[in-house]
Structure 1
Amino acid sequence: MTNCKARLEKVREYIELNLDEQINLDTLSKVAHLSKHHFHRLFSAEYGITVASYVRLLRLKKAAYQIAYRDDLSITTIALDCNYESSEAFSRAFRKVFEQSPSAFRTEPNWAAWQSHFDGIFKLRNEAFLKYSDFSVEYAELPTLDVAVFEHRDSPVNLQYSVGKFIEWRKANKIPPNRFRTFNLIYDDPEEVLDTSFRFDLCCQIDKSTDISDPNISLKTLQGGRCAKIRFVGSDDVIGWAVRYLYTKWLPQSGEKLRDVPVLFERVTLFPDVTEHEMVTDVYLPIV
């Protein structure tokens, strides 16, 4: 990585960690140790997006998740949290990008249209992540757990609809993530299986009193046992690198054999409660 590219990556990481703060050209050019007259042009040339658009999209992404999944937060609170001066300014920016008002998005989010705005950032993040060639892998023993499951059997583009329904069910049944562990079972690669055959289970730990009479919820048992584990810190946009590392690099060198159980994610911290850059996910590969 060239020195200039390294400086720009430092800026990009600074932006991701400071979305809730005031971010301006003077600050970012100082982080990059570049003249502000050149910095914004270099950023656009390197990443194919202006720095202002990058900041705006990341803030609106967080806002969209808060609007859809955190109904205890008012639109005004979300607007101020995302550094907009007023809910009116925020609503104009949100509608301009997503062609829905924040209140309409809260009622009926158009996730498919929403997703299209972040393809560039997904690509950018993955290209930047190429610099990471290694992960720390440890052995872990998972306990066997009964979990409530919402089975997503649809295109990965529509996953957020299932996430919203599962969150609603958890709220209605008082199963908050800070008290009950949250898991995902990953049957298919979302970059390979793009149609309605894509399979992804949204799961959470339950107790004996949990009502699972909802027809969209099933009861499954997560089979415990030995696993290879990576603690991954960062956005889901790039978590696939950890999964690929376990399969293509760690497994052939380890001499271990796979169990007939899918890859498992445990969500230790969740977006948008923390920034995407600070998300913690334990990635488990079940082994004999």
Structure 2
Amino acid sequence: MTVTGSPYRDRMRRVLDHIEGHADGDCSVETLAGIAAFSPFHFHRQFGATTGLPVARYVHLVRMKRAAYRLAYRTDRITEIAFDAGYDAPDAFARAFRRCLGRSPSAFRKAPDREPWHAAFAPLDQARNQSMPPPFTVHDVTIQDRPAIPVAIMTHRGDLTTLPATIQRFIAWRKARGLKPKDHATFTIFHTDPRTTPPAEHRLDLCVATDRRIEPDDEGVVAGLIPGGRCAVLRVIGQSDDLEPAALFLYRDWLPDSGEELRDFPLHAQRVTFFPDVAEKDAVTDLFLPLR
């Protein structure tokens, strides 16, 4: 059974938005059924038909994903993360986290591994994509003339399974220098295509906007420049860890009929708001395709 009518999708979208925005609050079946305007009995069936997951499983994965991001990229205490994930005791949270990710919270924080991490949350992402595909249209793309932006760059090379460790180093480096995201924009430059590039040859740059003098250091951070010029811009809301659908839309759907030509600089993104600082549905990423 598949739900295709837009009224039902709209009702389920409100439910998914509530779960993501209140992962540490009330996500009871009664509350979610009320948001969807179904009886609890019919809500169970409708939710499963729309997402392919039971309600409790979906809520659990949303909470675990937020916990994983906080463990990897924030310095929140594990006890605090456990309470926010709905557990009264850190031990209970640790057991649940190990079942989900295969490692204890403390071990995961020290060395997050992208492959099991993404595998654990693949059912959650599939459920969202199955029921709520990204609504990109040509009207979502704008053309902007962008100024040149001086940046500090930390490059990740090699298999993307080790990318979380590079992100951890990048966050620590900029934090030590007071380059806060609210004052210094965050960018990612994509030099290679994960679909066609051998894992060992992947390259992307993690960047923070700054006009400070950057001296090369032990972390490999160097000064760089995102050149100014015309760009096609697509705003992506939610799921900022998977920009492939948006990138494919720009290259495959928008560009051929646009009459535009590409400039010799890679696709890049500005991270406007970050998950887990905001609910995943509220994460905002602007994707830039440089044009002549």
SS in 1 for 2:140: coil
Contact persistence 1:230–1:242 (CA under 8 A): yes
Q: Which residue of 2 aligns with 1:13?
A: 17
What code does the residue aligned with 2:102 have?
A: E
Instruction: Go from structure 1 to structure 2 and tell me whether the alpha carbon gap of 1:6 and 1:58 turns closer, same or farther (over 3 Å shift).
Output: same
Give 1:264 shift.
Answer: 1.2
Contact persistence 1:129–1:238 (CA under 8 A): no
- Cα distance between partner residues in 2 of 1:113 and 1:244: 25
Q: Is 1:214 aligned with 2:214?
A: no
Contact persistence 1:185–1:262 (CA under 8 A): yes
Instruction: Go from structure 1 to structure 2 and tell me whether the alpha carbon gap of 1:57 and 1:193 turns closer, same or farther (over 3 Å shift).
Output: farther
Q: Structure 2: 5+ residue runs without aligned partners?
A: none
- Cα distance between partner residues in 2 of 1:214 and 1:172: 14
Contact persistence 1:126–1:237 (CA under 8 A): no
Q: Which residue of 2 aligns with 1:44?
A: 48
Q: Structure 1: 5+ residue runs without aligned partners?
A: none
Instruction: Go from structure 1 to structure 2 and tell me whether the alpha carbon gap of 1:254 and 1:110 turns closer, same or farther (over 3 Å shift).
Output: closer
Instruction: Go from structure 1 to structure 2 and tell me whether the alpha carbon gap of 1:280 and 1:207 turns closer, same or farther (over 3 Å shift).
Output: same
Give 1:145 shift.
Answer: 2.1
Q: 1:174 aligns with which of 151, 155, 178?
A: 178
Q: Which residue of 2 aligns with 1:91?
A: 94
- Cα distance between partner residues in 1 of 2:274 and 2:38: 34
String of CA shifts for 1:103-143, please: whole Å, max 9, x gaps.
22222333332221112223233333436241522221222
Per the normalisation by structure 1, the TM-score is: 0.90
- Cα distance between partner residues in 1 of 2:132 and 2:163: 23
Q: Which residue of 2 aligns with 1:102?
A: 105
Contact persistence 2:148–2:227 (CA under 8 A): yes
SS in 2 for 1:196: helix
Q: 1:190 aligns with which of 183, 190, 194?
A: 194
Contact persistence 2:51–2:128 (CA under 8 A): no
Q: 2:254 aligns with which of 239, 250, 253?
A: 250
- Cα distance between partner residues in 1 of 2:159 and 2:189: 15
- Cα distance between partner residues in 2 of 1:224 and 1:128: 38
* Worse-superposed segment, 128-137 or 247-256: 128-137
Give 1:237 shift.
Answer: 5.0
What code does the residue aligned with 1:128 have?
A: S
Contact persistence 1:140–1:229 (CA under 8 A): yes
- Cα distance between partner residues in 2 of 1:245 and 1:41: 33
- Cα distance between partner residues in 1 of 2:94 and 2:124: 22
- Cα distance between partner residues in 2 of 1:81 and 1:74: 11
Give 1:88 shift.
Answer: 3.0
Contact persistence 1:173–1:211 (CA under 8 A): no
String of CA shifts for 1:47-72, please: whole Å, max 9, x gaps.
3322111111111111111112212x
Q: 1:231 aligns with which of 218, 235, 238?
A: 235
What code does the residue aligned with 1:108 have?
A: A
